[in-house]
Structure 1
């Protein structure tokens, strides 16, 4: 699989990684053996970048990855870059984002993952003022100096938060929602990141599964699935669920997207391929609940680039059906 450099870290990562929110919680139950099989299938398919967070299953996702790394052994595990996130287990108050808390949070993640030093820790969509606080970045620099983390980045909800982080000299990566139904980061965020050498990690690339083309108006998701309980932002930012697109409209737009997919690719693979070929993207991190999904996602990296006629048609679909609903919100 193609590897792209995170320039401020000096390490390469696979252009298709694996997001592991679904292995912890909020997407329906995934048994431990199935979760480990997903991780194994992804790595066997060329994935070298795994993304997790301390809040996914209150540490379950991290612990599963830690167990998987132990099974791989130190030599093979050294070829992977594991990114985690911190901050969502605490009160969402800027006053909580202190060096003492950062130390406690990263110590817990280090224990969960079974590592001395975290490869990459990201602030997990904290309150907006956190992105503009010099004291926060000073504290993150201290974590690097102390060897708790090798590098740090941020996960953001808005383009403005991303641009604030990119302007900081030691931010290694920005994780942001980017997909065919969330195009605003293409305008300023990706160009700024390229210029600064900041890695872009594209999350929610399938708009919570909409772009897979598998869902219908009457599809029922489990009660524990955020696609049921967060459609209006009841538990966290609504933009994390279906990219903030109204579900019924999204199903209709996804059917139009599926009709544009070139022969030889599934809608999900085409949606991932769309993200991969956006200039400035370092890695895209689809989730997978089965080994088959993990392998299919990885294959998207090996597809031919989407032709210009398809790219134009996708843009037209966005402008006609989606732009007015989401573009200026995030």
Structure 2
């Protein structure tokens, strides 16, 4: 495993996303499987774990909290806030200082930590970012010692650019993959110039780039790849990167034929890591063997420039024109 700098901290260039561990929106994951996933990740050199307070309404955070008690390694845990809708929460109260402090303290309790390494806004409304108040609140929570760093998970390049104007922004979490390539030209250089870390989510386009799906693949009723395939529940970009499923299956097969061998998922993550501005990639996993495949990307050699060009040509012609959702 190779490591990259996050504000002076060496974090694994392949991290772990833990939406799946909330046992909601991806089907159910048992505690036993969750611990196996987390143990495999750490044993392979991973040290950056990303979660959110709404992943199973605290389930993901609580599983991670119990896991942390079993390990001695230094692990960097990031969470996200802003999307809770349970009692006493919702929009706009989630964005008040009191609401944000409550979210952070709940996450700390779940994770059994005295301080969050990173707290991130969780794809909140653009107008809330534009007002700037949420960033002042994050600075206040940082001054109180509840969080070490703060950043934002965003849906669009416009939102990323709004955040990049904020003093103290440590990171941006973005969707970037072979089905969402253009964002590199829109924000990467600006982020690098400001020393802002880039955390890449949805790196395999919800599994499309694993190369294991076909047009007849079915997903569980409580899997977002079933109920949000057309953006019915939240931004379509979070599911299959906004690409219609059957079209995505076809393009994933074409992409697989351009890559060096049949380790499609690993090479898809390697493609992301070939961009030096990226700090870490956070693929999720619902079983330990997927962690092995994801982590392998760090050991692979860079993809040849000519292949990068072919993959971009395909994207511009066949993929970008059909992306749905706001991006």
Question: What's the TM-score, normalizing by structure 1?
Answer: 0.95
Equivalent residue, structure 2, for 1:311: 308
Q: 1:183 aligns with which of 177, 181, 184?
A: 181
User: Is 1:41 paired with 2:51?
Assistant: no
Q: Secondary structure at the match of 2:206?
A: coil
Segments of structure 1 that go 5 or more residues without pairing to the other structure are none
Is the alpha carbon distance of 1:327 and 1:196 closer, same or farther for their aligned partners in structure 2, counting shifts above 3 Å?
Answer: farther
Q: 2:216 aligns with which of 206, 209, 218?
A: 218
Equivalent residue, structure 2, for 1:170: 168
Q: 2:249 aligns with which of 251, 264, 273?
A: 251
Equivalent residue, structure 1, for 2:2: 2
- Structure 1 distance, partners of 2:122, 2:317, is 32
Q: How far 1:101 moved relative to its partner? A: 0.5
Segments of structure 2 that go 5 or more residues without pairing to the other structure are none
- Structure 2 distance, partners of 1:213, 1:48, is 27
Q: How far 1:327 moved relative to its partner? A: 8.7
Given that residues 242 and 325 in structure 2 are in contact (C-alpha distance below 8 angstroms), is that contact kept between their aligned partners in structure 1? Answer: no
Given that residues 184 and 327 in structure 1 are in contact (C-alpha distance below 8 angstroms), is that contact kept between their aligned partners in structure 2? Answer: no
- Structure 2 distance, partners of 1:124, 1:323, is 24
Q: How far 1:316 moved relative to its partner? A: 1.4
Moved over 4 A (4+): none
Given that residues 235 and 326 in structure 2 are in contact (C-alpha distance below 8 angstroms), is that contact kept between their aligned partners in structure 1? Answer: no
Q: How far 1:328 moved relative to its partner? A: 9.4
Q: How far 1:133 moved relative to its partner? A: 2.0
Is the alpha carbon distance of 1:278 and 1:141 closer, same or farther for their aligned partners in structure 2, counting shifts above 3 Å?
Answer: same
Question: What's the TM-score, normalizing by structure 2?
Answer: 0.96
Question: Where do 1:138-153 residues align within 5 Å?
Answer: 138-153=136-151
Equivalent residue, structure 2, for 1:66: 65
* Alignment size in residue pairs: 323
Equivalent residue, structure 2, for 1:205: 203
- Structure 1 distance, partners of 2:281, 2:55, is 19
Question: Where do 1:1-330 residues align within 5 Å?
Answer: 1-7=1-7, 10-24=8-22, 25-73=24-72, 76=73, 79-90=74-85, 93-94=91-92, 96-263=94-261, 266-326=263-323, 329-330=326-327
- Structure 2 distance, partners of 1:209, 1:297, is 11
Given that residues 2 and 12 in structure 2 are in contact (C-alpha distance below 8 angstroms), is that contact kept between their aligned partners in structure 1? Answer: yes
1:69-88: CA deviations, max 9, x gaps? 00114xx2xx2110000111
Give the superposed CA RMSD.
Answer: 1.4
- Structure 1 distance, partners of 2:325, 2:227, is 24
